[in-house]
Structure 1
Amino acid sequence: MSKRLTSVAVFFSLALALLAPTTATAQQISLIRDAEIEATIRSYATPLFTAAGLDPEAVRVHIVNDDTLNAFVAGGMNLFLNTGLLMRSESANQVIGVIAHETGHIAGGHLARTQEALRAATAEAIIAYVLGIGAAIATGDGAAGAAVIGGGQSMAQRSLLKYTRTQESAADHAAVAYLDATGQSSRGMLEFFEILGAQDLLLSGNQDPYLRTHPLTSERVEFVRRHLDISQYTDTPPSPEFVKSHARMRAKLIGFLEPLGRVLQHYPKSDDSLEARYARAIAFYRDARLNEALPLIDGLIAEYPQDPYFQELKGQILYENGRTAEALPYYKAAVALQPHSPMLRLGLARVQLDLEDSAFIKSAIGNLEEVVRAEPRNPGAWRFLSIGYGRDGQLSMAALSLAEAALSRGDKSEAQVQADRALRQLPEGSSAWIRAQDILDQASRPRS
């Protein structure tokens, strides 16, 4: 068996990949990459982004590996959806309603404004702190000072909470407008609010984060109800394709993330639906029961030979069990059926490199070049590309790819080392040489 690219493959495990965050954050999160689920979310989100006047390509969608009910926007044009929300959603409309609401936050610039509100709230707290010290000195009464400080902090918190509720209401108004503009019902939003309403009865420590970051008020619920009374799209069902894709998305997430016993509770062997067989195939594969996993995925491929994600799963099952040569045609088929998917191309390239056959090196490089063209900040893809260039004898391009990978990870020191190494070997004035200069310049800038 060929020497497997284990150290790199850990970063991008195909079909479902758990990605460690590349920068330090207050709360560490892991992200899931999956071609099918990303395509599903994109199909829901793109019409809403367009209705909001956003460039769909400029909004990055991330799937967070967290079983709590949550969704949020961060860093401007970044939408995050928790796996817990996706798995517990009962319909595509509920997920679409959440995306519409979060789109309202993005289009309204609420994230930047929240930072301003936080600064204002902090300023109020600081002023109260200064006044409190003054009161304590003037009266000699520490309790008086504490009362002023406490009152100032409470005032700041009330100010921020009022601001947050105003934003939530604005996002709701925007969301129903986007849903109407795309001919979709807002009923999923109301259903999601009802789920949150049940959560509202729990102690705050047991509530899902969505409720704490998106305060639910009776006014918000009543607003959506009133809108449903007047909207011409209230009873419009989701498209049949959305219904199917939602069922598959939930099945895939449950199959990959839940223990086998729980998967079989959701999807017993008596359930012969597509999504049930899909979930069981994944769960049996994860439990090393290939004699049960392979017949299920083979049956799905026989029924749906043009489905790229069934082909991908068969390839993954074979690849992860050391049958790399057998996996290759399935990854090839997946890419042929969905050539614009970076994740599918990345899977194919990984298999091609892992075969360690010179006949596949050029093709692997071509696939990886397509991946980094679509996802220039994908450090795993750059790392694989460096391996491909290295095996092809293109050492300068291998160094440049390592520089790109380091820069994507935020490792400026390593980016400088590799960019400098590439510069010494690349033809001066070439596009690659210019890119290496750019990386060196970016890596040498002080952190803002």
Structure 2
Amino acid sequence: MLTRIILLVTFLLVASMPPALAQSQPKRQFIRDAEVENTIRTFGTPIFQAAGLDPAAIRINLIVDPTLNAFVAGGQNIFFHTGLLVRSEHPGQLIGVMAHETGHIAGGHLIRGNDAMANASTEAIIATLLAAAAGAATGRGDVAMAGAIGGNELAMRSLLAFSRSQESQADQMAMRFLDDTHQSGKGLVEFFEILGDQEALVSSRQDPYVRTHPLTRDRVSFVRNAVDHSPYAKTPWPAEWIEMHLRMKAKLFAFIEPPIRTFQRYKETDTSLVARYARAVAAYRKPDIPMALGLIDGLLKEKPNDPYFWELKGQMLFENGRGAEAMEPYRKAVKLLPNSALLRISLGQVLIESEDPALLGEAQTHLTAAVNREPEDVFAWQQLAIAYGRDGKEGMASYALAEHYMLTGKLAEAQFHANKAEQLLGKQGAVWLRLQDIKERASQVKADRDRGRKWW
């Protein structure tokens, strides 16, 4: 039984580097987690709405990296380094950064000049960033290794760097968004103070946010003055948000750092919910499953309607060969949070891996709901194809594979399965229309490649 699905995605430009240089480039991992993403989205939704953006269109992407950084790329995609999330001291600091990055999106700063977009590596980086993020789901909404990327740090820095005028404009918009949502901007001031302390460091030791978002004295003065004159400067954060933030930090730390570090930070004498949550994750990773299950069961006794506690219990059981026992925890998690694509993918995978034909219909239901909410999720389409195939629905299996291969850039396979699905399913209905879109898109991409142009 597979205990972890790992998708390796490497920047295209690494292939053109000398071997020694390519090997020296840093590697990072994309991760997916329902709780972390929903926490960030909860904090960001008021900001997105104030900016006139559709919150559902904003894509949250998480990169395992201990440094402070957040950036926007490829449209309405916000990327967060886990270092920024873990090191933020309260929701306000994270919200301030999100407001600033939203300012870049709303200000149209992602529309680069012709010279920048003419650079082949620019499109390669953007394409690979988004492809890696799309492939990060492992079928369980856990913080797990899901993608590795390595690339030219100088090219990345150049691509993501903003001008001083753009930075100032993003600051102005951020402060407007915060005032419009009746939130304090003190967190952004505090974040600037953290960055200011880094300016004395040599470039190689600075967090990447400093190098891509030039910090000037005028910017700091403007934001500090705006906060001083804001009627919402002393507005406290909701207690619920503070707990969500603490849980997010604890969960990320426990999944990313060695278990011994988690036990050192969240000591056994600390009986808070957040500390017990972190220790439950650390015990599961150690692995000490009896201890982990004891801790998560204790948390569930206190909060029986917490979908993320049920999800973690399901993950513990599933990844330790107890798939039959994992079904009910995952079902409860989905029942409590039915709109979570990640939770439905996790449940779908557990049902498939049970190898019980009677459960394939339920798996198809959950996976179909997942791809309807996140149509670019590579792993979900793959799992859906498996569920259809084992259920004898060959036409629908080929359709799901066509979607899967199109997302992974395997055009020949996408066209083959689109044609096969069309032959088996007939020429009518929404699926037939989608198959035509896949075939047309594959043909366009192939033609563009044949002409030597990038397709993203």
Deviates more, 1:46-55 or 1:258-267: 258-267
Aligned to 1:425, what secondary structure does the other structure show? helix
Amino acid at match of 2:103: G
Contact 1:29 1:64 in 2 (8 A): yes
Structure 1 residue 87 and structure 2 residue 86: aligned?
yes
Aligned to 1:416, what secondary structure does the other structure show? helix
**Deviation of residue 428 (structure 1)?**
2.1
Distance of aligned partners of 1:120 and 1:358 in 2 relative to their CA distance in 1, 3 Å threshold: closer
Contact 2:73 2:160 in 1 (8 A): no
Aligned to 1:72, what secondary structure does the other structure show? strand
Aligned to 2:339: 340
Distance of aligned partners of 1:234 and 1:404 in 2 relative to their CA distance in 1, 3 Å threshold: same
**Deviation of residue 92 (structure 1)?**
0.6
Aligned to 1:324: 323
Aligned to 1:360: 359
**Deviation of residue 333 (structure 1)?**
0.5
**Deviation of residue 57 (structure 1)?**
1.3
Gapped runs of 5+ residues in structure 2? 15-24, 120-158, 449-454
Contact 2:72 2:105 in 1 (8 A): yes
Aligned to 1:431, what secondary structure does the other structure show? helix
Structure 1 residue 213 and structure 2 residue 212: aligned?
yes
Deviates more, 1:430-439 or 1:241-250: 430-439
Contact 1:21 1:31 in 2 (8 A): no
Distance of aligned partners of 1:21 and 1:180 in 2 relative to their CA distance in 1, 3 Å threshold: farther
CA distance in 1, matches of 2:160, 2:431: 50
Alignment of 1:9-408 (within 5 A): 9-11=4-6, 20-21=8-9, 24=12, 29-112=28-111, 114-116=112-114, 118=116, 164-408=163-407
CA distance in 2, matches of 1:119, 1:419: 32
Contact 2:61 2:77 in 1 (8 A): yes
Distance of aligned partners of 1:365 and 1:5 in 2 relative to their CA distance in 1, 3 Å threshold: farther
Aligned to 1:110, what secondary structure does the other structure show? coil
Structure 1 residue 413 and structure 2 residue 412: aligned?
yes
Contact 1:117 1:163 in 2 (8 A): no
Aligned to 2:138: none
Aligned to 1:370, what secondary structure does the other structure show? helix
Aligned to 1:215, what secondary structure does the other structure show? coil
**Deviation of residue 22 (structure 1)?**
8.1
Percent identity (aligned): 51
Contact 2:422 2:435 in 1 (8 A): yes
**Deviation of residue 185 (structure 1)?**
0.3
Aligned to 2:21: none
Structure number with higher relative contact order (C-alpha < 8 Å, ≥ 6 residues apart)? 2
Q: Give the structure-1-normalised TM-score.
A: 0.85
**Deviation of residue 289 (structure 1)?**
1.0
Contact 1:29 1:65 in 2 (8 A): yes
Gapped runs of 5+ residues in structure 1? 12-18, 122-159
Distance of aligned partners of 1:119 and 1:345 in 2 relative to their CA distance in 1, 3 Å threshold: closer
Pairs aligned (count): 397
1:365-399 per-residue CA deviation (whole Å, 9 max, x = no partner) reads 00000000001111100000000101111001101
1:127-176 per-residue CA deviation (whole Å, 9 max, x = no partner) reads xxxxxxxxxxxxxxxxxxxxxxxxxxxxxxxxx99970111111001001
CA distance in 1, matches of 2:370, 2:34: 12
Contact 1:307 1:334 in 2 (8 A): yes
Aligned to 1:154: none
Contact 1:23 1:410 in 2 (8 A): no
Contact 1:20 1:31 in 2 (8 A): no
Larger radius of gyration: 1
Alignment of 1:430-445 (within 5 A): 430-445=429-444
CA distance in 2, matches of 1:102, 1:117: 23
RMSD: 2.1
1:262-294 per-residue CA deviation (whole Å, 9 max, x = no partner) reads 112221111111111111100110111112211
**Deviation of residue 111 (structure 1)?**
1.2
Distance of aligned partners of 1:366 and 1:171 in 2 relative to their CA distance in 1, 3 Å threshold: same
Aligned to 2:268, what secondary structure does the other structure show? coil
1:8-31 per-residue CA deviation (whole Å, 9 max, x = no partner) reads x504xxxxxxx6448746786432
Amino acid at match of 2:423: R
Contact 1:345 1:367 in 2 (8 A): yes
Amino acid at match of 2:5: V
Amino acid at match of 1:42: R
CA distance in 1, matches of 2:359, 2:117: 55
Amino acid at match of 1:223: F
Aligned to 1:64, what secondary structure does the other structure show? strand
CA distance in 1, matches of 2:160, 2:342: 40
**Deviation of residue 444 (structure 1)?**
1.1
Contact 1:185 1:235 in 2 (8 A): yes
Q: Give the structure-2-normalised TM-score.
A: 0.83
**Deviation of residue 119 (structure 1)?**
7.1
Amino acid at match of 1:337: L
Contact 2:352 2:387 in 1 (8 A): yes
